[in-house]
Amino acid sequence: MELHRYHDVNRRGTVERLCYTTKDVDGTAVSKYANVYLPYGYSASQKYPTLYLIHGGGGNPDAWLDCSMIKNALDASFAENRCKPFITVFPGFYNRDPVRNGSRPDENAERAHVLFFQQELRNDLIPAVENAFSACACRECRAIGGFSMGGVTTWFAFLENPDLFSVFLPLSGDCWQICGLGGGKETEKTVRYLHDHTVEQGYTKDDFRIYAGTGVEDIAYPNLTPQIEAMKKYTDLFEFSERPEEGNLHYTLMENAPHMYEKVYQHIYHYMPALFPGKVKIRKVTDEDKKRFLPLLLLADEQEDMIDRYLDRGVMYILTEEDQVRGECVVTDEDGGILEIKNLAVLPEWQGHGYGRMLIDDLADRYQGQYRILQVGTGDSPLTLPFYERCGFVRHHVIRDFFTDNYDHPIIEAGKQLRDMIVLWKHL
Ligand code: FER
């Protein structure tokens, strides 16, 4: 396991406080807050996956951030492109102030808190997060993890909220379904329940991934280790693999790591690249028939003979994720240091994921130094103009009647006929 070490980064994410209301066990409204880490460059025009990261017994929404280098691990991983950026939410699972006095937990009381918290996640916290931030609202894009009692919380989320999360990181905490410390004390019963309950709800091994971990010296080691070992035997549901990118059950043991946030966050650093897979690739279309991407080209420019005017002399790039083509763009050399985007499209079902912006950022990176200006001409449409402006383009000039003069039929966008072409510039 490659360990994170602090290193300075210029691209730092920010932490915001999200206030929301929920209910306590008696149904009384309570105001709570969660800390929300937004990655560097966070933009509401893109949807992000989200990790919910839960504190340990006696903790609060600040515990992870105060006690570990998790923020630097996130900043550094995104800056180095170890994985795509995601949002991290740090809530508190108590709905009353915990009174721990540094002592070992009252198992029943703690168990009740983290079990009750499952309803808060579903009814209040996740809706508040997805209302306030640009978080992708599907189970594939939500992960939950936690330390110690937060690990216990994670196992309960696996049992109670499998429709909300697909990725689970129980760290230094076992499953308390049967009893406190049940992963060690009632290993067989606990694991049979984890298996049977999941199968009964219709989930299969392709529907979730578990990334567990602890330290060899950790007090949770004797509880979590037998649980994971027993889970490995239920091969119909749990497929153990040493490699994070294969199988759906993973367990990492760390040397010299007691029961502390400052050690345990290393597991998150380690697993981060596997949590929300699918690396976006942008490649030039070489020696291929560019016309085979015609359906995509037509999304941006609906008349084929207009596409023929630039396609041959244009350079085409396609964007793929998980080996599926999801977007493209075509650029042409317009002399005088101007590179023009003639066509840029993202499949409708993948719009809003930031792919358009990625294509533009990629062009800017590729052509910096070779061209002065990245130019784009578009209709006066609310579907395209604000997008280009968010990407750093500014209006430069207008070509009157471009759409009415050059196309054989009216081009309607957002209920409006396009007439003039607005030409925008972005300096490279
Ligand atoms: C464990 C899971 C949780 C464990 C301890 C805890 C001893 C919680 C400890 C605390 O809140 O202090 O497996 O092992």
What are 283-322's pLDDT values in tens digits?
999 867 899 999 999 999 999 999 999 999 999 999 998 7
1 inside domain: no
Quick check: pTM over 0.75? no
Name residue 236's amino acid: D
- Whether 56 lines ligand 1, by a CB cut-off of 6 Å, is yes
Same domain assignment for residues 205 and 102: yes
Q: What is the pLDDT of residue 287?
A: 64
Closest-CA residue, ligand 1 atom 5, reads 220
5 inside domain: no
289 inside domain: yes
- Whether 105 lines ligand 1, by a CB cut-off of 6 Å, is yes
CATH number at residue 35: 3.40.50.1820
Distance CA 278, CA 201 (A): 27
Residue of 37, 28, 31, 111 whose CA lies nearest to 70: 37
Same domain assignment for residues 87 and 217: yes
Pinpoint the alpha helices (H) of 233-348. Answer: 261-275, 294-300, 304-308
Can you give the length of the chain in residues? 428
- Whether 219 lines ligand 1, by a CB cut-off of 6 Å, is yes
- Whether 223 lines ligand 1, by a CB cut-off of 6 Å, is yes
- Whether 181 lines ligand 1, by a CB cut-off of 6 Å, is yes
Task: State the CB neighbour count (10 A cutoff) for residue 383.
Answer: 12
- Burial (Cβ within 10 Å: 0-12, 13-18, ≥19) of residue 326: buried
What are 338-348's pLDDT values in tens digits?
999 999 999 99
Q: Are strands 209-215 and 167-171 parallel, antiparallel or unpaired?
A: parallel
Closest atom of ligand 1 relative to the 57 alpha carbon: 11
Closest atom of ligand 1 relative to the 56 alpha carbon: 11
Ligand 1 mean position, distance from CA 149 (Å): 6
- Whether 173 lines ligand 1, by a CB cut-off of 6 Å, is yes
7 inside domain: no
322 inside domain: yes
Name residue 419's amino acid: R
Distance CA 187, CA 197 (A): 15
Q: Which residues pair with 249 in a beta bridge?
A: 210, 240
Helix (H) or strand (E) run with residue 405 in it: helix 402-406
Same domain assignment for residues 271 and 287: no
Residue of 170, 150, 60, 164 whose CA lies nearest to 122: 164
What are 101-138's pLDDT values in tens digits?
777 778 999 999 999 999 999 999 999 999 999 999 99
- Burial (Cβ within 10 Å: 0-12, 13-18, ≥19) of residue 114: buried
- Whether 174 lines ligand 1, by a CB cut-off of 6 Å, is yes
Residue 287 or residue 367, greater confidence: 367
Same domain assignment for residues 296 and 202: no
Same domain assignment for residues 232 and 296: no
| Contact status, residue 229 vs residue 212, Cβ threshold 8 Å | no
Closest-CA residue, ligand 1 atom 4, reads 220
Same domain assignment for residues 64 and 213: yes
| Contact status, residue 118 vs residue 156, Cβ threshold 8 Å | yes
- The mean per-residue pLDDT over the stretch 230-237 comes to 98
CA triple 175-179-180, angle to 5 deg: 70
Closest atom of ligand 1 relative to the 148 alpha carbon: 3
408 inside domain: yes
Ligand 1 mean position, distance from CA 56 (Å): 8
Q: What is the pLDDT of residue 229?
A: 98
- The mean per-residue pLDDT over the stretch 223-246 comes to 96
Closest atom of ligand 1 relative to the 223 alpha carbon: 13
204 inside domain: yes
Closest atom of ligand 1 relative to the 173 alpha carbon: 2
Same domain assignment for residues 104 and 242: yes
Q: How many domains does the chain have?
A: 2
What are 40-75's pLDDT values in tens digits?
999 998 899 999 999 999 999 999 999 999 999 999
Same domain assignment for residues 249 and 387: no
Instruction: Tell me the residue range of the domain where 291 lies.
Output: 280-427
Instruction: Please give the biggest Cα pair distance in the chain.
Output: 79
Same domain assignment for residues 263 and 368: no
**CA distances from residue 41 to 17, 85, 267, 282 in whole angstroms, order as listed:** 18, 9, 25, 19
- The mean per-residue pLDDT over the stretch 7-32 comes to 94
Same domain assignment for residues 306 and 193: no
Ligand 1 mean position, distance from CA 125 (Å): 24
Same domain assignment for residues 326 and 250: no
Same domain assignment for residues 301 and 249: no
Residue where a domain stops, chosen among 226, 247, 275: 275
CATH number at residue 311: 3.40.630.30
303 inside domain: yes
State residue 236 phi and psi, 5-degree precision.
-65, -25
